[in-house]
Amino acid sequence: MKGAATELTVLAVIAAVSCAQALTPDDSDLDLLFPDNFMFSSATASYQIEGAWNVSGKGENIWDRTTHEHPEKILDHSSGDVACDSYHKYKEDIKLAKSLGTPMYRFSLSWSRILPSGAVDRINDDGIRYYNAVIDECIANNITPVVTLFHWDLPQPLQDLGGFSNELIADYFEDYADVVYKNFGEKVKWWITLNEPYTLCQEGYGNGAKAPLVVAEGRANYLCGHTMLKSHARAYRLYEKKYKKSQQGKVGISVNSYCFWPKDQNNVKDVEASDRFQNFVLGWYAHPIFSQDGDYPPVMKEFINRASERQGLRRSRLPTFNATEIDMLKGSADFFGFNTYSSRLVADAPNEADGTTMVEDAQVVVSTDASWEKTIAPWHFVVPKGMRRVLNWIKREYNNPQVFITENGYPDAGVHKDVGRVNYYKLYLLEVLRAIHHDNCAVIGYTAWSLMDNYEWFYGYANRFGLFHVDFKNPDRPRTPKMSSEFYKRLVATKKIPDESDIPWPDDDDTTSASSSVTATGFSVALGVLMSVSTIKHSILL
């Protein structure tokens, strides 16, 4: 593992070095200000930070089961059993959020900590106590809690029933939401029902790249999406009917997507294909909720129905909403939560084969551009203009809804002098400003992923997104600020993208390895040294 870790560190430094070239763009848009009422936040998720996986009555979830039974699936063979130990250190975490000056902090609830079996037959008092304590601590520090009901950690007993491929899970989710609203709704005014249903369904029930490791693309992923949408709508309508009048909160959903660009912008077919795939990914979950007509995107239904018919199936592999369900979903959000990180290229690819993957259904080929800046994560490329483009796509498709960017961030190996992350935020936030000021996109907030380094799913602790460094080798899990935390703090205070020349570098220490020696004036030297390293494998960057 030492060789692999060294390799990842070198890659992280190269990413930081390449970012340095764009640290001070000469652009008058840097003088733009975020609106006075713009909401800044940072985010975490229960499985990724809490630990205490089997403490005080908490039940097993699908990530507990997956990491324990299949550690080989995780890049560093780790688990979230302890993670950041936020179950015990939540007060410290909220102090970190307070130090940023952000008026909001987004975190998620562990369904299994509240309902160990996933059902309301047994409510875990400790789970209610714990989350009340977290919420109370936020409020005591003048931080508005933004609470996500579900961030991928489905109770294992419900997965044993088929998980989200079983439509009955919507019943369980509505019951769970009722317990949550009843116990926390007087203090929580911002709710997110589901986080990134696309990722869970496509990777958890499609290609098996995340828990619960189901490989059934073209079938189970579509069933999962259908159930998750119904779960969201049921939770929204429950709040609307039973709690909204007294609690006066907002309920939304966090959907996610890359920005999809045509591979050849002069090719009409590629232009159509990129828009088509944007509908397959983002529209899959946004169109039923935010469009005027509701239901799945027409192009998605058309292509999957046609492929299913060609394959001799009696019914489409994409499930069907009835009229009542379409109406239940339509308008079932008070804001448009949106997570985005990167971009992809899309080319048209007519397909008459029998395959059932999403790209085969959509008849596209998805790729990346060799010129895009790479990061330590093989899926993550720095393409700032994609942020503005996809915000405009949302504006055009859904009549300019209020968009709360609920995740956006940059991975590295956990360095304190995280120049790459600072530059990523700077360039992406600049595109958000342009979307607001030049395009009149109704963006109301921005959330940095993440508050601190945490457990990054199948990348374990090898990929870090935090504004604060966490030492996972130390049983006390100490948190220390990175350069990006100071950047974000100044951004929040001034409502303006800060000049990084005013941001102090963290003190050198041994935990940041090779990249801690890179200084603002030493990038060219570091680049020369790094380019001489012959052990870097290009495959990691793809």
How far is it, in rounded angstroms, from Cα 123 to Cα 342? 39
407 classed as catalytic: yes
**Tokens 């259908």 found at:** 226
How far is it, in rounded angstroms, from Cα 297 to Cα 305? 12
Provide the token pair at 373: 């800046």
Q: Which residues contact 542 (CB under 8 A, 6 or more apart)?
A: 368, 378
DSSP string, 479-541: EEE-HHHHHHHHHHHHTSPPPGGGSPPPPP-GGGGGGGG--TT-HHHHHHHHHT-TT--GGGG
User: Burial code of 39-78, b = ≥16 C-beta within 10 A, e = fewer?
Assistant: bbbbbbbbbbbbbbbeeeebbbbbbbbbbeeeeebbbbeb
Helix (H, G, I), strand (E, B) or coil at 183: helix
Specify whether the CB–CB gap between 262 and 273 falls below 8 A: yes
How far is it, in rounded angstroms, from Cα 172 to Cα 150? 12
Strands 144-150 and 190-195, sheet pairing: parallel
60 classed as catalytic: no
How far is it, in rounded angstroms, from Cα 217 to Cα 207? 6
Which helix (H) or strand (E) segment holds residue 3: the answer is helix 2-20
Closest C-alpha to 50, from 89, 86, 12, 10: 86
Query: Which residue is catalytic, options 137, 407, 431, 486?
Result: 407
Specify whether the CB–CB gap between 83 and 145 falls below 8 A: no
Query: Which residue is catalytic, options 50, 137, 196, 360?
Result: 196
Which helix (H) or strand (E) segment holds residue 253: the answer is strand 250-256
How far is it, in rounded angstroms, from Cα 48 to Cα 86? 9
Specify whether the CB–CB gap between 422 and 483 falls below 8 A: yes
Q: Residues with catalytic annotation? A: 196, 407
